[in-house]
Amino acid sequence: MLYLLGVVVIALAILISVSLHEAGHMLTAKAFGMKVTRYFVGFGPTIWSFRRGETEYGLKAIPLGGFCKIVGMTPQDDDVEPGDEKRAMWRYPVWKRTIVMSAGSVTHFALAVIAIWLAAMFMGLPNKNLPNPLPAHVKVVDCVIPTDAARECAPGDPVSPAKQAGLRDDDKIVAVNGVQVADYTALVKTVRELPPGQPATISYERDGVAGEVRAGLAAVQRKPLDDPDGAPITVSALGVAGPMLPPGVPANVTYGPVEAIPATAGYTKDLAVGTYEALKRIPDKIPALWTAITGGERDKDTPISVVGASRLGGEALENGVWQLLVLLFISLNFFVGVFNLLPLLPLDGGHIAIAWFERARSWLYARIGRRDPGRVDYLKLMPITYAVILIGGAFTLLTATADIVNPITLFTR
């Protein structure tokens, strides 16, 4: 039940965000005097609608987005009625059209920033003062899984060597057989390089007191650290999980209303950098999506669709990690806001880019004494527009299919 609720919450949050995106276009267009004839949530057959003034508002059957119709977006549009010529969008100054076309993305950014500010006060934001990398504080598990499978302990699984040796949760491992380990990654690498099944001397700190134990390492099958897609090999395992936070160090920090403002700015900056890096990686992740669909392992760093985001929301709520729903809402809104500003038709960024191209070209031609070439002919750009739509549709289908047949799972069930 909680899983289904989480799915619905994320799906509804996305629908509301997209509806507010279109409302941003509509409200700014109306504020400048442009004519908006329709504003609908959803697509397909109309379920319910009403008219107020010159605009029809309503709800359609397929809740996968929304739209608003602004008269005369391009000079080639034939939806301008007699008497409304001056209200056609393309006739307005470029700065007004830019505000209208960017209002959707601005709405997404506003939703994300407000959610970050609220999260900073009531949920907490990641603690930037954490040691980097984290020292090898560990959690002692009950068993080691012999195979390279993400599952819970089962009867017959070997007992954790760390547990048998007397290690405890939050112990800080500092050395293995005298080899210093600075962090959890170094601990895993050092242990794996030891002969499987052989005992090892583990040096640790507990509450500031140094200690040492002997642990008989277990032999397990794991993928190589330097080749995550390679075949599993036999390595040693200590039976610990990590990295764990040092005792008394919080993972998240909460702020007061005023202190939350700079914290929100910092988190937004990190989010912007992360979004930029994610956009750059998309082309490289397409083969990984295809691999996931055809039976391979799903890379957790591959893009997700609305389906995948909703499933992650369901998992988060089912496992009591409601904070993940908030982070999903923030990340999705910020990503959509940035993506929609890319200078490609039919995205809003494409319309903005053309408007400023026209303005720059007119300015240049006036300076060199040539006749203004006028507006861009959108009909000549239709092949490029269709290509972008085709590629975008194929990518959406690819991610949605991967999210259905081989979804990303953050929790072991």
What is the tens place of the pLDDT at every residue in 124-153? 998 887 777 778 888 898 888 888 776 778
**Would the pLDDT of 2 be above 60?**
yes
Q: Write the Ramachandran bin of 132: left for phi over 0, alpha for psi from -120 to 50, otherwise beta.
A: beta
Query: From CA 34, how far away is CA 264, in angstroms rounded?
Result: 35
Spatial contact of 309 and 408, defined as CB atoms under 8 Å apart: no
| Least-confidence region, from 77-81, 91-95, 225-229, 349-353 | 225-229
Q: Tell me, what's the pLDDT at 1?
A: 72
If pLDDT is split at 50, 70 and 90, which confidence band does 278 have?
A: confident
Structure tokens at 231: 């075949």
If pLDDT is split at 50, 70 and 90, which confidence band does 84 have?
A: confident
- Tell me the whole-structure pTM to 2 decimals: 0.79
Share of the chain above pLDDT 90, in %: 49
Residues near 399 by Cβ (< 8 Å), separated by ≥ 6? 289, 302, 303, 304, 305, 307, 308
Q: Tell me, what's the pLDDT at 122?
A: 93
Q: What is the mean pLDDT of residues 361-375?
A: 90
Q: Tell me, what's the pLDDT at 180?
A: 93
Strand partners, 298: none
**Distance between terminal CA atoms of the chain?**
15
Angle, helix 260-293 to helix 382-405, in steps of 10 degrees: 80
**Would the pLDDT of 118 be above 50?**
yes
What average pLDDT is seen over the chain?
A: 89
Q: What is the CA radius of gyration of the chain?
A: 28
Query: From CA 163, how far away is CA 165, in angstroms rounded?
Result: 5
Domain ranges (residues) in the chain: 1-35+71-127+251-413, 137-244
Q: Tell me, what's the pLDDT at 413?
A: 41
Spatial contact of 325 and 313, defined as CB atoms under 8 Å apart: yes
Q: Tell me, what's the pLDDT at 228?
A: 66
From residue 285, give the alpha-carbon distance in Å to each of 130, 288, 301, 333, 398: 30, 5, 8, 21, 11
**Would the pLDDT of 195 be above 90?**
no
Q: Tell me, what's the pLDDT at 316?
A: 81
Q: How many CB atoms lie within 10 A of CB 260?
A: 20
Q: Tell me, what's the pLDDT at 129?
A: 77
Residue type at 295 in one-letter notation: G
If pLDDT is split at 50, 70 and 90, which confidence band does 229 have?
A: low
Query: From CA 413, how far away is CA 407, in angstroms rounded?
Result: 14
Q: Is the dihedral of CA 145, 149, 152, 155 positive or negative?
A: negative
Residue with more model confidence, 196 or 109: 109
Q: How many CB atoms lie within 10 A of CB 81?
A: 12
193 catalytically annotated:
no
Residue with more model confidence, 316 or 230: 316
Query: From CA 106, how far away is CA 103, in angstroms rounded?
Result: 5
Residues near 232 by Cβ (< 8 Å), separated by ≥ 6? 147, 148, 221, 222, 223
Q: Tell me, what's the pLDDT at 323?
A: 85
Phi, psi of 216 (to 5 degrees): -80, 105
Residue with more model confidence, 226 or 76: 76
Chain centroid to CA 347 = 19
Structure tokens at 81: 């009625």
**Would the pLDDT of 275 be above 80?**
yes
Q: What is the mean pLDDT of residues 9-22?
A: 91
**Would the pLDDT of 48 be above 50?**
yes
Spatial contact of 38 and 22, defined as CB atoms under 8 Å apart: no
Using one digit for the tens of pLDDT, what is the confidence trace for 231-268? 888 899 998 887 777 777 787 889 999 999 999 999 99
| CATH fold for domain 137-244 | Pdz3 Domain (2.30.42)
Q: How many CB atoms lie within 10 A of CB 61?
A: 10
Among residues 22, 205, 212, 297, the one annotated as catalytic is 22
Q: Tell me, what's the pLDDT at 126?
A: 85
Query: From CA 7, how far away is CA 384, in angstroms rounded?
Result: 35
